[in-house]
Structures are given as C-alpha cells and as structure tokens.
Amino acid sequence: MHLFFYNIFCWLYRSAIRIAALWNPKARLWVRGRKDWYNTIKPQFDNNQGPWIWMHCASLGEFEQGRPVLEALRSQYPGYRLLLTFFSPSGYEVRKDYKGADLVTYLPMDNKISAVKFINLVNPSLVLWVKYEYWYYYLTGLRKKQVPVLLISGIFRKDQPFFKWYGRLHQYILESFSQLFVQNEASRELLNGIGFKQVTVNGDTRFDRVAEIAGQFKPIPAIEAFCGNHPVIVAGSTWDADEEELDHYANTHPEIRFIIAPHEIEAPHLHDIEKLFKHTIRYSEWSKTLQAAPSVNTLIIDNIGMLSKLYHYATITYIGGGFGKDGVHNVLEAAVYGKPVVFGPVYDKFIEADELVESGGGISIETALELEEVFNELLQDETEYKKAASAAAQYVVSKTGATKAVTSYIQENRLLTN
C-alpha cells in the first residue's frame, strides 16, 4: 500500500512539472534535460573504458558536500570513471561542465522501468548518495544487484517519515545503504533506534570543501580595488528580506564598503536592489574601468561563482536566507576565512549554523535594528571582533576530516580496487 502511494506521488510530481514547464523556465529545464535520456547518455557506456563510480546529488549544495569525496576517489582510483547525477536544474545547469566527472547528467524520474534501465546501463561498482533524496526504485534496485551504496553527510530528524509509524517503506529504502555516514550523534541515535547499526558519525564533508577552497584562494583585483582600506561587509546569497534589513545601514555608513551577492541575479531583482541601496555599482560595470562616483559604497555582484572568494575580503559577513521559510544559506563558506558570520532567525534546520552560534562565531539577528547593533559592536569593539572571528575559524578547523573517513572506509572494505 505504501508503495502504491509512492508511485502516485512520483506520477503527480512528474505531471506537475510537465504542466509548470509551459511557463516556468526551471521546470522546462527539468523536463528537457530528461528527454530521451537513455539514447543521450548510452554512447558514454558503449566504449567500455572502465568501471564506474556514481555519485548522486539533489542539487548544487549537495554537490559541494559530495565533491571532496568524488575528487579524492578520482585521485586514489584513476582506473574508474565518474558519473555525477543531479535531480534539480539548479545543480545540473551550474555544474554540467564540471571536469571532475566523466559524465554529468540528470537522474531520470524514479520509476521501476527507468531505474532498471539506468542501473543496468551504468552498472556501477560503487554508489555515493549525498545527504538525502531517497528514491525507492533506484536504491532498492542497487541493493538487488548487490552494489555497495554509501550515504554521505546524512542528517536525520525525528519528524522524518523514517521514524513514524507509517515509515516502513522509508526504512526499507534505508536498508539499501551499505553504510550511513551522518553528520551528528543525534542522527545515529535515531537510526539505531529503528535498528540501523551500520552508521558512522563523521561530520559534514562540506567542511573539507570550504577549507580546500580557502586554501586555494586567488586574489580578485577588482574586488581589492573596490574595498581599498575600508571596513567591508559581504552579504552573500541574499533575498529581498535580507536586503531590506541591510539597506539602511549601507545607506547611512558611506565609509563602509558593502558587497551584495544576491541569490537571484535576474534583472528585476538587481533593479530592486539598486532602488534600496542608494550608492551602487554592478560588478560587471566596475570591473571594466575600476572607476565609480566617489559616493558609491555598494557593489552588486551580477554573476555566479565568485561568492566563496568574496568572503575573504570581508570584515564582517552576512549570509542570506535566514528570513525565509527555507532558512539560512551556507555559513561555512564565510566562517572558514575567520570572519564573524551574521544571519537571520531561521536556521534551526542547519546544524552548522546552530553550532556556529553556540561557538560564538555566528550571530543571529531578528530585526534591522539588531543587525545595526551587531555591526556597530563588531566594528567598534576590537576584542569582541577578534573573539567572534577566531571562534568562526576554529569551528571550521575542528570539523574537517569527514572525507578521509569515507575514503578510509572504502579502502578498508575493499569496495574498489586500484
């Protein structure tokens, strides 16, 4: 009966996406990317150049979690080819040209026929499933073929179906995993409580990723020129609500340089930002001449891909999303540089944000007035600033090493051969 409802859900989801594709660009990409998927990717598997390791990520955030493991395996097992799949266009469209994999493609919508065809075509030696998105036919199909499947950076909460009276189907899906690598002890306790013992607490591989990014930092001359010798506030992944919290402070503190990297860079949103912030210039304009009116103190980033580097230039960082229902975005990209991290009140589903607050490296605010008080204190009280900055850096350092735990497990259990 549970499987019946699962099939109904998948059918309704696919139907809704197809209807939405008539007017929604993202839905259209979702549909178009899966069109005739079998014949599109089949030539990649016809030449028999080596066995495959398959990593699946729901979207871009999960890719950043899985990436350190995938790249470590590329280095340690060069004889294997790497397949990277995405469910969401927001992941695939950004990383479709990722050179660390031999093939990047969409995962076809879950159903019995597609899952069997896909698994038989790929015939993977090892599968890495990042964080979540538990597709029944894919995972149980891999189990039937006795393919080892590892969950990477999993996080579990007691309100999830696995731990409810009606969660037997979800528990059956979890039985497909050879090992569950989870982020915290609470997840292990929940899984142990329903009989799962193949659980390892090794933290979040994103810590390894952000540490790697910070270690490979290269200067951006245009950003350096904009910042000069001024205090700098970098606001990343902002939404409308975040920008409305920030604008008054930016407009009344011309001596501070603000860098706004919005989550959405479509023209209407950029225009809205320019209305809120009085003295702005877009990065695409600034980088051409490195000249702006003397009053300009706010740089709007109108491209994708720079954000993780921008935090290096910050005196204080602000992370968007904390005023929306989905919650705050990636706080680790900022914390790794040893800068205080400020964000809105919605962060309870993100363990790293919660722990960052507990460590003293993160500060949550609920109003524009609180935001201004926090900014003023950090900019004026050197002792408090250094305390928060040091706490942020130490928090990230203390959490690195999750990638090595996964690769060591693979080596020790001989899941792959050199």
Cα angle, residue 345 at apex, residues 382 and 355 outer, rounded to 5°: 65
- 304 or 150, greater pLDDT: 150
- Give phi and psi for 237, each to the nearest 5: 55, 45
User: Closest by alpha carbon to 227, among 263, 255, 250?
Assistant: 255
87-123 pLDDT, tens digit per residue, is 999 899 989 999 999 999 999 999 999 999 999 999 9
CB-neighbour burial class of residue 371 (10 A; exposed 0-12, middle 13-18, buried 19+): buried
DSSP letter for 228, please.
T
- Give phi and psi for 268, each to the nearest 5: -60, -40
What are 224's two structure tokens?
């350096």
What are 156's two structure tokens?
């579990």
What are 172's two structure tokens?
């059956």
Alpha carbon of residue 73 to chain centroid: 20
| Domains observed in the chain | 2-203+401-412 (3.40.50.11720), 219-399 (3.40.50.2000)
User: Closest by alpha carbon to 259, among 218, 227, 295?
Assistant: 227
Mean pLDDT of the chain: 93
Report how far residue 338's alpha carbon sits from residue 157's, in angstroms, rounded to the nearest whole number: 29
Q: DSSP alpha helices (H): ranges in 194-312? A: 206-215, 221-227, 240-252, 267-276, 283-289, 307-310
In this prediction, what percent of the chain has a pLDDT beyond 90? 85
203-249 pLDDT, tens digit per residue, is 899 899 899 889 989 999 999 999 999 999 999 999 999 999 999 99
305-340 pLDDT, tens digit per residue, is 899 999 999 999 999 999 998 899 999 999 999 999
Helices (H) then strands (E): counts for the chain: 21, 14
Residues 382-389 have a mean pLDDT of 97
How far separated are the first and last CA of the chain, in Å rounded? 44
What are 2's two structure tokens?
């549970």
30-73 pLDDT, tens digit per residue, is 999 999 999 999 999 887 778 999 999 999 889 989 999 999 99
Handedness of CA 95, 83, 62, 418 (dihedral sign): negative
User: Closest by alpha carbon to 264, among 288, 300, 229, 292?
Assistant: 300
Report how far residue 138's alpha carbon sits from residue 118's, in angstroms, rounded to the nearest whole number: 9
281: β partners: 299
Alpha carbon of residue 148 to chain centroid: 24
What are 212's two structure tokens?
């790697």
Structure confidence at residue 1 as a pLDDT band (50, 70, 90): low
User: Closest by alpha carbon to 60, among 82, 86, 83?
Assistant: 86
Report how far residue 231's alpha carbon sits from residue 309's, in angstroms, rounded to the nearest whole number: 17
Paired sense of beta strands 179-182 and 232-238, if any: unpaired
Report how far residue 142's alpha carbon sits from residue 119's, in angstroms, rounded to the nearest whole number: 7
CB 299 within 8 A of CB 261: no
- 293 or 375, greater pLDDT: 375
Residue 351 above 90 pLDDT? Answer: no
250-301 pLDDT, tens digit per residue, is 999 999 999 999 999 999 999 999 999 999 999 999 988 887 667 899 999 9
- 364 or 165, greater pLDDT: 364
